[in-house]
Amino acid sequence: MGFWKRVRLSLEMIKFEHSVFALPFALTGALLAFRETRPAGPAFGGKILWIVVAMVGARSAAMAFNRILDAGIDARNPRTRMRHIPAGMLSTGFAWGLVTVAVLVFLLAARQLNPLCLKLAPIALAVVFFYSFTKRFTSFSHLILGFSLGIAPAAAWIAVTGSLDPKILWLTAAVTFWTAGFDIIYSCQDYEFDSSEGLFSLPRLVGIADALWIARLLHLAMIACLITLSCCFALGWLSFAGIGAVVLLLLYEHSLVRATDLSRVDAAFFTVNGYVSVLFFLFWAADMYFLGLRA
């Protein structure tokens, strides 16, 4: 198999395009940190670049590790049996090589950011790797996945400032609740398989209908955290317009799925949530630029 084909298959395996889910929130955290500390322009631009590299590295390592660990489960699940490792498109050894490269890229980026980022890098990797084990022993794996993405904006804050301000943890909480909510929706597809395999998930624990209600409550908690965050940083009306856009998108997301009809889960999971993160970032970045950063 040619090198570039392996690269293409690797990007498909780790769903590289789904980096859009967490990256805009990390960039929002970086912009909030910039708004508070006003570091030098060129230095800030460099930090943004290394934050992106760190995010991509950590997520790629976590996704490849998850595919390795779940290869046997994926092979037995009709929905996932054609994923790259169980289908034989990529070997486990190659996937381990991808994990190694991605970890090294992440550590390099952390080193370029600041000493605290490098010290915390192993903890961040432990969190994102730990998620892959959780479906084997806890029904709350969705929240752990949420936290794996939720640490991104706090990490971006640390990358810019070299320290942590508790206010940014409202964004960590918002991303945690948002991710857990849409992961619950996604996992409803595997209710029967998880039950037969003895795997843990909230849909298996409480049933699909109640799990969808829990997802709605988690997304309501996300909105509450975003409102609190905006107030903590004294942001303007554009930030609330962004929250309004998120509300409308989440309402649409939940309208796509019912306990008796999960045929549009992919649209709810992939398409809508991509718009949530991107539109949120655009509104909040505009608020900070037009109403804050130029003040």
pLDDT in tens, 52-101: 999 999 999 999 999 999 999 999 999 999 999 999 999 999 999 999 99
Give dist(CA 280, CA 288) in Å, integer: 12
Instruction: Provide mean pLDDT across the span 15-37.
Output: 88
Spatial contact of 30 and 51, defined as CB atoms under 8 Å apart:
yes
* pLDDT for res 292: 60
Q: What percentage of the chain carries pLDDT values higher than 90?
A: 83
CATH superfamily of 3-293: UbiA prenyltransferase (1.10.357.140)
The structural domains of the chain, with segments of one domain joined by +, span: 3-293
pTM of the shown model: 0.94
Collapsed DSSP state (helix, strand, coil) of residue 48: helix
* pLDDT for res 269: 80
Tell me the sheet residues that pair with 261: 258
| 295 has pLDDT over 50 | no
List pLDDT tens digits, range 55-64.
999 999 999 9
Which residue, among 72, 66, 88, 71, has the nearest Cα to 18 in the 3D structure?
66
Spatial contact of 13 and 59, defined as CB atoms under 8 Å apart:
no
Is the sign of the CA dihedral 178, 105, 129, 34 positive or negative?
negative
Which is higher by pLDDT, 80 or 267?
80
Question: Mean pLDDT lowest for which of 47-51, 125-129, 268-272?
Answer: 268-272
- pLDDT band of residue 42 (cuts 50, 70, 90) is low
Written as one string, the DSSP assignment of 81-107 is TTSTTTTTSS-HHHHHHHHHHHHHHHH
Instruction: Provide mean pLDDT across the span 107-134.
Output: 97
Work out the angle between the directed axes of helices 23-37 and 273-288 (0-180°, nearest 10).
Answer: 10
